Amino acid sequence: MTKQIHLAAHFPGVNNTTVWADPRSRSQIEFSSFEHLARTAERGLFDFFFLAEGLRLREHKGRIHDLDVVGRPESLTVLNALAAVTERLGLAATVNATFNEPYELARRLATLDHLSGGRAAWNVVTSSDAFTGENFRRGGFLDRADRYTRAAEFVATARELWDSWTPDGLSRPFAHRGRHFDIAGEFTVPRSPQGHPVVIQAGDSDEGREFAAATADVIFTRQSSLEAGKAFYADVKRRLAKYGRAHGDLKILPGVSVVLGDTAADAREKAAEIRRRQTSPQTALLTLEQIWGADLSSYDPDGPLPDFDPVPDSGITQGRTRRGDTVAIAEKWRALAQEKGLSIRQTVIEAGGRQSFVGTPQAIAAELDAFVQADAADGFILVPHLTPGGLDEFVDRVVPLLQERGVFRTEYEGSTLRSHLGLAEPAWKG
Amino acid sequence: MLHLSAAVDQPSVYDAASYVDLARLAEHGVLDFVTLDDTFARPGLDALSVLSRVAPATNRVGLVPTVTTTHTEPFHVQAAVATLDWVSRGRAGWRLDVSTTEGEARLFGRRHAAPAEELWREAGEVADVAARLWDSWEDDAEIRDVPTGRFIDRDKLHHVDFEGSGFSVKGPSIVPRPPQGHPVRVVDATEGLARRTAARYADVALVRVANAAQAGAVRDQLRKEAARFGRNPDGLRVLASLLADLGDGEHAAEPGHGGGGPRQTAQGPLYRGGPVDLAELIASWHGSGAVDGFHLTPAAPRRDLERLVNGTVPLLQHRGLFRTFYPGSTLRDHLGLARPANQYAGEAS
């Protein structure tokens, strides 16, 4: 049988992927936007709806970053409300394992699983920076190396709590004593419909892959070429056996963006226009400042790149992922600008990420299918650039074609997220 | 104006539909709000999650979950309460409580049980920092100014730089200022230790007492203390909190109860009688100025809420004492409380 594709919808996030300046763009905060996108995803029979998390607003040059979408509601609260306006769609929240405690978070996740009838998922992320820690009792207190050991023990502890009630509704005391957590007592929530909410892991690092292979049900990865995708897929799936897990126990879903057009040329034109909108003149300069580690506000975004080398480890931007070897990036970008005669803004657009799939609905459906059948993925997490209508067209035009190809469901077969993903209910460990 | 509210707690109930039903029933009775209690010490779902699930299934009734402040992160708590206000379009409240037992402390393994006095002082700090974080975004901070490429005016976002006795928070919040500005903060002020925190920070104080004179005395004290904290005492609603057992028919089965008033029990003051006599009691306590309204916990959740809504409420409406529809849309509207000004407005960030 041909492999079935899994699809998820990512609510547009707080980075410059989201084009807030588009006249069709609506609130990033009001419930109606979440309801629109979730209902679209459910109409498209998606596996789940995905929310990211932020715990400290990003800062640049010591001030709050103001060029991208800023602010968002708290994920689990939004998902509980969405459970009221959807029936089958999985509901995934990103929640940090560093700035939460297992007892409380396991309880909130089990609650969502009860209230949604078995549709809860948790995307486990780790972070340890002192910048984010300034909002919390504990502060930034973890060594980078400890992030995954804490996350692994956190998930294991949560599962002990979820297993502490017997399947027939008896509560039994638990006790967990480990390096990061020493807790005991009784859990307040009976075993939830899925047994354990689905666990997602996001990140491509070696540690992240190992953590996912040992622990996660889904891995949310970066999209790459077909060849790199196949290599990643094979590597992660190979690690499963070590933990006594089967090939199908972990689904690999890259985050992708899709641009549709009536013709291939139309789609390419739209894609270029979106990239231009994602990179305003101000965003272009800011991106450059992040790499150069210096104030470039006197530069003209339509003029040439700076001719001096970046300042390493400037700490100019707080609360966002590091960019790696900035000197090398700067060299590459200067070469690119020189070769094609590009301005600062044109260089940032040219060198920046491109949409993953650009084309007609027929071409996109064929490509997505090929990607999955070639074992470069088990499906995709779609990241739209518009709130909240960014997936309307995909659901209306691409999903029917995937169904015609026989690689995507035509109705929900089960009621839980585990059933959509083809994951077994976890055995109760009494 | 009389204010009425009811608890929708149901022991050993874990499905959404049961809570939605009771909240809708309360909304049918035009009640100001429903409460759902929460503790780490007894079985039960996370209350704020339950009322978030209820929000899209109701339109007007206020939603007040208990969220404890002892073992939780103030930053997460305020974000969740603000988000409840967003998903309910301005109907969120928050009943603050503390976790006093060693058993609860062991569930977290981070600190030992502490004296209630210390925990209520901390709860006050959490109430304080929550309001600061709700204000850390001015209402018009989001500008979406295309020519300058700016999504927000960052001069309208503020670090709160809060230093409490046991924790600190930098800010600003991750969530923009909620629809009500500040969701309604509720504190059970029956115990002396909590009363001070209520007088300083609460919008609604609950008082578990068995007669109108006692209720009036606590109300006077709360208002005086609120004034000492620099508040306008009219910004504080004091509600008598009673258990209501309406199972004994139209009139009080036992002499001395029902029409005669509640009696003190181990679970708190209990009113036992019929819906008609309850209406009489409500009218009498409220008419004497002892309280601004009532918070009723049904002894049998569905039965007694139905009797309250279908029996007591229509009588109060008939006498012109209680609203017949919701004139406003937010919980603050129902309670007659103004939307608070932003403490940071106009300050440099």
| pLDDT tens string B66-79 | 999 999 999 999 99
- Residue of chain A minimizing CA distance to B101: A185
Are A362 and A337 members of one domain? no
Q: From chain B, pick out residues whose CB is under 8 angstroms from the CB of A117.
A: 16
Instruction: Say if the Cβ atoms of A183 and B52 lie within 8 Å.
Output: no
Q: From chain A, pick out residues whose CB is under 8 angstroms from the CB of B89.
A: 31
Instruction: Say if the Cβ atoms of B154 and A64 lie within 8 Å.
Output: yes
Give yes or no for B90 touching A (CB within 8 A). Answer: no
Are A335 and A302 members of one domain? yes
Domains identified in chain A, total number: 2
Q: From chain A, pick out residues whose CB is under 8 angstroms from the CB of B145.
A: none
Are A290 and A256 members of one domain? no
Domains identified in chain B, total number: 1
Are A16 and A81 members of one domain? yes
Confidence at residue B260, expressed as pLDDT on a 0 to 100 scale: 60
Instruction: Please provide residue B157's backbone torsions phi and psi, each rounded to the nearest 5 degrees.
Output: -115, 145
Give the separation between CA A120 and CA A101, rounded to whole angstroms: 18
Residue B347: CB atoms within 10 Å: 11
Confidence at residue A323, expressed as pLDDT on a 0 to 100 scale: 65
Q: From chain B, pick out residues whose CB is under 8 angstroms from the CB of A95.
A: none
Confidence at residue B254, expressed as pLDDT on a 0 to 100 scale: 52
Is B257 within a domain? Answer: no
Q: From chain A, pick out residues whose CB is under 8 angstroms from the CB of B49.
A: 76-77, 80, 108, 111-112, 115
Are A333 and A366 members of one domain? no
Is B349 within a domain? Answer: no
Instruction: Please provide residue A163's backbone torsions phi and psi, each rounded to the nearest 5 degrees.
Output: -90, 0
Partner B, chain A 119-158, Cβ-Cβ below 8 Å = 134-137
Partner A, chain B 122-141, Cβ-Cβ below 8 Å = 137
Instruction: Please provide residue B67's backbone torsions phi and psi, each rounded to the nearest 5 degrees.
Output: -130, 120
* Preceding amide of B43 cis, omega within 30: no
SS3 at position A43: helix
Closest by alpha carbon to A319, among A53, A41, A18, A36?
A53
| Residue stretches of chain A with pLDDT short of 70 | 1, 320-323
Is A30 within a domain? Answer: yes
The answer to whether A164 and A428 are in contact (CB under 8 A) is: no
Instruction: Using the Cα atoms of residue A409, residue A412, residue A414 and residue A418 in order, give the sign of their dihedral.
Output: positive
The answer to whether A5 and A368 are in contact (CB under 8 A) is: yes
Confidence at residue B256, expressed as pLDDT on a 0 to 100 scale: 47
Instruction: Please provide residue B141's backbone torsions phi and psi, each rounded to the nearest 5 degrees.
Output: -70, -30
Indicate which CATH number applies to the domain containing B327: 3.20.20.30
Considering A333, A351, A369, which residue would you say is the last residue of a domain? A351
Give yes or no for B281 touching A (CB within 8 A). Answer: no
The answer to ipTM > 0.95 is: yes
Name the average pLDDT for chain A: 94
Is A402 within a domain? Answer: yes
Give the separation between CA A210 and CA A206, rounded to whole angstroms: 6
The secondary structure of B271-326 as a DSSP string is EES-HHHHHHHHHHHHHTTS-SEEEEEESSHHHHHHHIIIIIHHHHHHTT-S-SS-
Is B45 within a domain? Answer: yes
Are A206 and A296 members of one domain? no
Instruction: Say if the Cβ atoms of B175 and A72 lie within 8 Å.
Output: yes
Confidence at residue B183, expressed as pLDDT on a 0 to 100 scale: 98
Confidence at residue B253, expressed as pLDDT on a 0 to 100 scale: 46
Are A61 and A102 members of one domain? yes
Give yes or no for B82 touching A (CB within 8 A). Answer: yes
How far is B260 from chain A, CA to nearest CA, in Å? 39
Identify the domain containing residue A148 by its residue range. Answer: 6-261+356-421
Is B32 within a domain? Answer: yes
Are A73 and A149 members of one domain? yes
Give yes or no for A64 touching B (CB within 8 A). Answer: yes
Are A176 and A299 members of one domain? no
Give yes or no for B111 touching A (CB within 8 A). Answer: no
Considering A326, A351, A376, which residue would you say is the last residue of a domain? A351
Q: Which residue has the tokens 């009691």?
A: B281
Closest by alpha carbon to B82, among A94, A53, A72?
A72
| Residue stretches of chain B with pLDDT short of 50 | 252-253, 255-258
pLDDT in tens, A6-52: 999 999 988 888 999 999 999 999 999 999 999 999 999 999 999 99
Identify the domain containing residue B207 by its residue range. Answer: 3-246+279-335
Are A104 and A38 members of one domain? yes
Is B269 within a domain? Answer: no
How far is A394 from chain B, CA to nearest CA, in Å? 27
Give the separation between CA A393 and CA B191, rounded to whole angstroms: 58
